[in-house]
Structure 1
Amino acid sequence: MVKHILSISNKLNTYDLILIVFLLLFYATAAQTQEKIADGDTQKVSPSFILQEKIRQWVETQKLQGKERADWAEQKRSMASLNGIRQKEIGQIDALMESAGKRLSDATAKKDQLLLDKEALKSQRDVIQGRVEKFEVSLRQKVGMFPDSLLSKISDEVERIKNEEIEGSVQDRLRDIVAILSAASDFGHAMTITSELRSVNDESIEVEVLYLGFSGAWYVSKNGKTSGWGKVQDGGWNWTEDPSVARPLTEAMEMYRKERTPDYIPLKFNNTED
């Protein structure tokens, strides 16, 4: 019988084999007990009962151990799952920290570059401001040669330039300089006829003035009795009365207005005829 049991032991698990062995021992012990116990024996607990109780306890122990192993396996699976989730969360946190670190590094580099750009712009602004101030000083010395017809176009800009304590921004000041230089350039490259008042013998007389840019100018009254010429000198116009200018200047103005056929007209230019 034992050989038969051993032959099938490979087909059974360990717990089944142990159980069979205990059963065999139980039967063997029970048989011996029956032989030794007499009819009048007063023993209350038989060996077979003890064996049965131990087998029962062993079975309960095996069940408890099996349950503990199953619980432990389930706990290990849960712990493995939780560990996987934590590892994933740690990976996400590491990625976020790496990304945040990169953004911080990029922001720091950008900040440093902006500071460098700010310093460069400040240096450029200082250079531009220095040039603007030089232009303003130069223009203050030259606005005295601007005729009324020119000043009327840039009166606001000229007023601001005349103020040595300018409070405007460099951009606004540069805009005024450009406006003045542009208007002065247009005037300097054109022939302009305008009406002005001249003081002659304590009397204010209206005259017509022909400006050939800033190169020279000639004037004549409407009745032709007052005439002369002028040139820029010491930052302003210096006028010289000259009756000989009246007739040729009147003819030149008539030609300018297309009231006379174009012709060569001699006019005094810096005290010489041209």
Structure 2
Amino acid sequence: MRSLIKPISMVIALCCAMTVQADTVSELEQLINKWLQIENQNNKLNTHWLEQKSSMEQTLTLLDAEQQQLSELNQRRKKSTSELTQKREQLVTKQSELENDQQQLNEQLTRISQQLLSLQVQLPPPLLSSWKNTGDLTNSQLNTTDKLQTALKMLGLLRDFQQRISIHEMAILHPDGQEVWVKQLYLGAAQAWFVSEDLSYVGIGFPSDLGWQWEFDPSINAEQVALGIAVQQKKRAADWVTLPILSYAKNTQKGAK
């Protein structure tokens, strides 16, 4: 009986040992699986972290570049603002200078206009007609530019008339009340002579305080006046012409009285 119990006990002990060993193996397998799972998760975390790190490094690089650009832009903006302020100050100064120049120009233009208007009555009729066709300096609707251009045109016409001998024709009033058609020879804007076609009427023209004056003077050689006109019109060959300049001076003084 004892011999039988002993093998049975051994079998039971062996079975128990095997059961314990099986449980240990199972626990080890579970631990290994958990460890593998943790390791796998750790690898995934590392991989994810590396990916995130690379992305964040790129983002930081972009942010640094953007910050650099913004800093440069801000510097340029400050510089541009400073330049704009300087230019604005320069423009304000320039505007002030232009306004001052404009005021001086207006004052000078007013004086010139007054002088031209006072001179206007003393002009020879052809020149006076040209001036009137140029413009009216008394027109209050003219702006500064138009007035300046008109004044310059008038001065140009006066200069041109002064620098040449010119021929014109018109009717002038005789002291007896009749109009006489005459040819006129102008020596600039300060002296003129006239003669009728038949040489019956002759005289001089001159400016005075009363305006431009025509004076019939039979003592003047009508043929000389006619000759001067013909030479100027190239109808006669160039020749010496004697005309009474001194007579003009006397008549100017007479007109001034």
For 1:98-247, list aligned pairs within 5 A. Answer: 98-157=75-134, 159-161=135-137, 163=138, 165-200=139-174, 201-234=176-209, 236-247=211-222
Question: Unpaired segments of 5 or more residues in structure 1?
Answer: 1-36
Question: Unpaired segments of 5 or more residues in structure 2?
Answer: 1-11, 252-257
Separation (CA, whole Å) in 1 of partners of 2:142 and 2:71: 53
- 1:81 maps onto 2:95 in alignment: no
Alignment check: 8 A CA contact 2:165 2:185 kept: yes
Poorly superposed stretches of 4+, deviation over 6 Å = none
Separation (CA, whole Å) in 1 of partners of 2:41 and 2:232: 126
Alpha-carbon spacing, 1:45–1:115, altered in 2? closer, same or farther (3 Å): farther
Alignment check: 8 A CA contact 2:230 2:236 kept: yes
Separation (CA, whole Å) in 2 of partners of 1:246 and 1:195: 19
- Matched position secondary structure for 1:122: helix
Q: By how many angstroms is 1:184 displaced? A: 0.9
Alpha-carbon spacing, 1:70–1:45, altered in 2? closer, same or farther (3 Å): farther
Alignment check: 8 A CA contact 2:194 2:203 kept: yes
Bigger RCO (CA 8 Å, 6+ sep): 2
Let me know the Cα RMSD of the aligned residues: 3.3
Deviates more, 1:68-77 or 1:115-124: 68-77
Separation (CA, whole Å) in 1 of partners of 2:231 and 2:67: 94
Alignment check: 8 A CA contact 2:123 2:207 kept: no
Alignment check: 8 A CA contact 1:229 1:240 kept: yes
Q: How many residues align?
A: 234
Alpha-carbon spacing, 1:183–1:44, altered in 2? closer, same or farther (3 Å): same
Work out the percentage of aligned pairs sharing the same amino acid: 22
Q: By how many angstroms is 1:139 displaced? A: 0.5
**Partner of 1:249 in structure 2?**
225
Q: By how many angstroms is 1:242 displaced? A: 1.7
Separation (CA, whole Å) in 2 of partners of 1:39 and 1:64: 40
- 1:48 maps onto 2:24 in alignment: yes
Alpha-carbon spacing, 1:90–1:264, altered in 2? closer, same or farther (3 Å): closer
For 1:5-84, list aligned pairs within 5 A. Answer: 38=13, 48-49=24-25, 52=28, 53-54=30-31, 56-84=33-61
Separation (CA, whole Å) in 2 of partners of 1:167 and 1:266: 46
